[in-house]
């Protein structure tokens, strides 16, 4: 009897410590995860992709795809990384928007681009070029469909457009354009940000120029209505950003959300659109989604999704 009572008394303090220890371990793991995610958001990467879209006889083109820089004037490390991209000597730059995260970012951005802005380039704007970021719960990023923030202070988007245009890049806001790069005639179409429903598809719909050597479409957010339209109209490849690659991803599984109606499996990288189509299928095209290089300054965290730029090598289509 006395032994049994002693046993029960001995176990009581151990049981009472289990929950606090579990909570402490959980808090430590959470803090470590947040610390890692904060570091990963500064661990910039260059991804390489090859897209076979050029006609016989055309030279390969090196396209630097930039997106979602979300630059603030005090992000010196990011500015230096952007400057380092000049060494890639691309033939063409495609910028799919969300450049800004501060009303004083335009000049530092152009300084960081430097000679890159003198390379032939095209661009569209994203919601974060129009409106200042605001504090928010970063876990809201994981809510399906995302949110639209249009009540915050306006950013100097027109000054951004003017600076990029003056430098020589071509704006593709709900319009067509044409550039010849290394002798390759490229027909472009672009839309204003579909996430804000600023896209005017009627302004750019219609068959893509079949006489051009290449047809390229550009959008900030890869909403399906936009991708469907460009694929139907015969664009060979669409460039997009916005998704941040899911930003907070799971190992192996990858992205959980895209902040639009694109499915998470295509949150970043090179895919077909429609997803199940193959090269040569009527009404299908390539889709390249950049995971982007930044985050909101109020949610500086990435997990299993490094910030990136992509060097896209456009090469000849295979013989049939």
**Separation of first and last alpha carbons in the chain:** 89
- Nearer to Fe ion by C-beta: 187 or 291? 291
3-state secondary structure at position 18: helix
- Nearer to Fe ion by C-beta: 98 or 209? 98
For residues 156 and 106, the answer to whether their CB atoms sit within 8 Å is yes
- Nearer to Fe ion by C-beta: 234 or 241? 241
Q: Which stretch binds Fe ion (CB under 5 A): 63-71, 138-146, 174-182, 224-232?
A: 63-71
Which 8-state DSSP code applies to residue 51?
E
For residues 167 and 117, the answer to whether their CB atoms sit within 8 Å is yes
93-132 positions binding Fe ion, by CB under 5 A:
98
- Nearer to Fe ion by C-beta: 234 or 292? 292
Q: How far is the CB of 141 from Fe ion (least distance, A)?
A: 10
- Nearer to Fe ion by C-beta: 68 or 236? 68
Distances (CA, A) of 58 to 52, 91, 180, 238: 11, 13, 12, 19
The secondary element (H helix, E strand) that includes residue 257 is none
Alpha helices by DSSP H, the chain: 2-40, 76-84, 106-113, 127-130, 157-167, 201-204, 224-232
Q: How far is the CB of 67 from Fe ion (least distance, A)?
A: 7
Q: How far is the CB of 305 from Fe ion (least distance, A)?
A: 13
For residues 314 and 54, the answer to whether their CB atoms sit within 8 Å is yes
∠ Cα 51 53 54 (to 5°): 120
Q: Which stretch binds Fe ion (CB under 5 A): 4-12, 65-73, 269-277, 305-313?
A: 65-73
Q: How far is the CB of 99 from Fe ion (least distance, A)?
A: 9
Q: How far is the CB of 240 from Fe ion (least distance, A)?
A: 11
- Nearer to Fe ion by C-beta: 64 or 100? 100
Under the binding rule (CB under 5 A), the answer on residue 68 touching Fe ion is yes
Under the binding rule (CB under 5 A), the answer on residue 193 touching Fe ion is no
Number of residues that bind Fe ion (CB under 5 A): 2
∠ Cα 270 315 208 (to 5°): 75
Q: How far is the CB of 274 from Fe ion (least distance, A)?
A: 24
Strand partners, 176: 189
Residues interacting with Fe ion, by CB under 5 A? 68, 98
């Amino acid at each position: 009897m006395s032994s049994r009572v002693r046993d029960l008394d001995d176990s009581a303090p151990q049981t009472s410590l289990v929950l606090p220890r579990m909570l402490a371990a959980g808090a430590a793991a959470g803090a470590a995860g947040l610390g890692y995610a904060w570091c990963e958001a500064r661990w910039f990467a260059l991804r390489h992709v090859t897209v076979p879209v050029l006609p016989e006889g055309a030279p390969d083109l090196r396209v630097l795809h930039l997106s979602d820089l979300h630059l603030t004037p005090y992000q010196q490390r990011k500015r230096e990384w952007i400057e380092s991209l000049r060494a890639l000597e691309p033939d063409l730059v495609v910028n799919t928007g969300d450049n800004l995260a501060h009303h004083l970012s335009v000049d530092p951005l152009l300084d960081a681009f430097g000679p890159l802005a003198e390379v032939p380039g095209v661009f569209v704007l994203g919601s974060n070029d129009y409106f200042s970021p605001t504090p928010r719960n970063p876990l809201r990023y994981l809510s399906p469909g995302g949110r639209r923030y249009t009540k915050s202070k306006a950013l100097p988007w027109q000054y951004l457009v003017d600076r990029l245009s003056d430098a020589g890049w071509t704006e593709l806001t709900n319009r067509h354009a044409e550039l010849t790069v290394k002798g390759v005639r490229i027909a472009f179409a672009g839309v204003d940000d579909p996430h804000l429903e600023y896209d005017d598809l009627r302004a750019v719909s219609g068959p893509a120029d079949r006489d051009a050597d290449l047809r390229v479409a550009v959008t900030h957010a890869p909403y399906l209505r936009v991708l469907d339209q460009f694929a139907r109209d015969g664009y060979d490849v669409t460039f997009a950003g916005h998704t941040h690659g899911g930003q907070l991803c799971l190992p192996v599984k990858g992205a959980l959300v895209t902040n639009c109606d694109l499915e998470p499996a295509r949150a970043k990288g090179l895919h077909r659109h429609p997803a199940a189509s193959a090269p040569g299928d009527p009404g299908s095209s390539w889709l390249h989604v950049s995971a982007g290089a930044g985050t909101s300054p109020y949610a500086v965290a990435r997990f299993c999704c490094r910030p990136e730029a992509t060097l896209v090598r456009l090469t000849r289509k295979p013989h049939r």
